[in-house]
Structure formats: C-alpha cells, structure tokens
Amino acid sequence: MRRKLIAGNWKMNTDRVTAVALAKSVAARAGEVSGVDLLVCPPNVYLYPVVQAVNGTAVRVGAQNMYHEPNGAFTGETSAAMLRDVGAKFVILGHSERRHILGESDDDVNRKTLAALAAELVPIVCVGELLEEREAGRTAEVIRRQFTGSLADVSEEQVQRLVIAYEPVWAIGTGKVATPDQAEEVHADLRSLLVERYNEKIAGRVRILYGGSVKASNAGDLLAKPNVDGALVGGASLKTDEFLGIALAGAAV
Ligand code: PEP
C-alpha cells in the first residue's frame, strides 16, 4: 500500500514572511489529514525558516532543485548536503520549467538524482511530454526516454527511495488538467517501465505523483486512480485551503 504524497511546489514565489506564514498555516491544519504525507517546497533561501516553522509537525520540507557536485567552484549552486544541512528531506528534480526554460537534460537530471540519493535526500524526478508530443502520439516514447535517461544507474535499493512525478507540460500552470484516464494511462506505463527495469515488487513500492493544474475540486478523481499516488501541486499550493483540500481529497480515496 503506497501512502499518498501531496507536495507543494511554491516555485519562485513568496518572501520570507509569507513563506513562513504559509508553512505555519499548512502545519497548523496538517492534523486534519490522516494517512497522507504532506510536503512543501519553498525557494531555497527560505528553506531554513520554513523547516523551523514546521518543526515538530508532520509537514516535510523539500527543495526545488540542486546541483550534482558535492562542493567546489560552482558559483550560485547548492549541493545535496547543503539542502540536508538546512533540514530539507526531498528535492524536486527535472521539473519541466528547469528542463524547458533552463535547458536541463536527462543526463543533468540523472546526475542530480544519483547525488540526491547518495546524500539521502528523496528525489522527486519529473517527467512529462509537451503538447505537440502528445498530439503527435509520442507521449509514451517521451516518457520512456525521460525515465530511462533520468534514472540511469539507479539501483534496486535506490529506486525505492525516490518518487516519480508525471507532469504533462501542457497542464502545468495552464488550468488544463489531464483527465484522470490520461493521467492513469501514463502512470500505468511508468509502473510498467519500473517492472521492466526492476521487478514487480519494487515497482509496486514507488510512488508516482501527478502534477499539472491540480486543485481541490479536481484532485479526488485523479487521486482515486490506482497508479496515482499523490500530487505535485504548483499554483494551488500557495493557498492553504486549496492545498489542504487536495490533501483531504487524497485522504478520502
Ligand atoms: C508544478 O509546478 O509542478 C505544477 C504542477 O504547477 P501547477 O499546479 O500550477 O500546474
């Protein structure tokens, strides 16, 4: 039985005061949600105050990106150990905005995934097709390529410590959510890729989140699908009521 994970990607939003306030308001209501893991991912500079704000609660904190090297002359970058040092437990990797705006490749995502796992952070590895790829019937091929490239050299033991997020690029921040059947189809494909690469037992343990315009009103139908193990939430994670509403929908299925 996979516990649902509801993760909020705050992207480059909030300031120190509003980040702490949002984290505290989510933490204050975390008790309303049972059987679901809650994660918030603020901008890196606010990780430490947010970790302090949720200290002693069930809310976990993650980063939105990291660099694969442990230290050295990499101006402006942040290592996995630094994220751990300030209390982050998770890190989102290969988000579509990083792939498509900042030019990250599957190789980059793979290096980061291996470094995060080595530092005992939980990577949330994102994959997802562009609208033109879906329209050209290439979704399965794109997902296979990103899965294979991003998870190269990830061992049987390691894959059980990571999370995969399916985020169709056309659904991110657009208000256009994938239908529950569209999401389930790709999630089932990802589960099959895990079986093919590892085995049934291991594949059954890996959580696969859906991301792309999830809100409280559409979360229930998505989260009810057998291979949808949670949500990676952008815009709606900036509002406590919406975020908790998604988590409550996850708890209800
Ligand atoms: C995201 O940033 O991962 C995301 C899914 O954004 P939104 O929920 O706003 O579509």
| C-beta of 213 in contact with ligand 1 (< 6 A) | yes
Please, where are the H alpha helices in 55-138? 80-85, 96-100, 106-118, 131-135
Task: Report the separation in Å between the CA atom of 6 and the middle of ligand 1, taken as the mean of its atom positions.
Answer: 12
pLDDT value for 168: 97
What residue's CA is closest to ligand 1, atom 6? Answer: 234
Task: Report the separation in Å between the CA atom of 71 and the middle of ligand 1, taken as the mean of its atom positions.
Answer: 30
End-to-end CA distance of the chain: 13
pLDDT in tens, 185-230: 999 999 999 999 999 999 999 999 999 999 999 999 999 999 999 9
| C-beta of 97 in contact with ligand 1 (< 6 A) | no
| C-beta of 168 in contact with ligand 1 (< 6 A) | no
pLDDT value for 49: 98
What residue's CA is closest to ligand 1, atom 1? Answer: 234
Could you give the percent of the chain with pLDDT greater than 70?
100
pLDDT value for 189: 98
Q: Where are the beta strands (DSSP E) in the chain?
A: 4-9, 36-41, 60-63, 90-93, 122-127, 163-166, 207-211, 230-233
Listed residue (30, 36, 35, 32) closest to 56, CA to CA: 30
pLDDT value for 109: 98
Structural contact between residues 119 and 85, judged by C-beta atoms closer than 8 angstroms:
no
What is the pTM (predicted TM-score) of this model? Answer: 0.97
The single residue listed with the structure tokens 């516990």 is 3
What residue's CA is closest to ligand 1, atom 4? Answer: 234
| C-beta of 62 in contact with ligand 1 (< 6 A) | no
Point out the residues of the chain with pLDDT beneath 50.
none
pLDDT value for 1: 80
Examine the residue annotation and report whether 187 is marked as an active-site residue of this protein: no
Give 26-70 as a DSSP string: HHHHGGG--SEEEEEE--GGGHHHHHHHHTTSS-EEEES--BSSS
pLDDT value for 158: 98
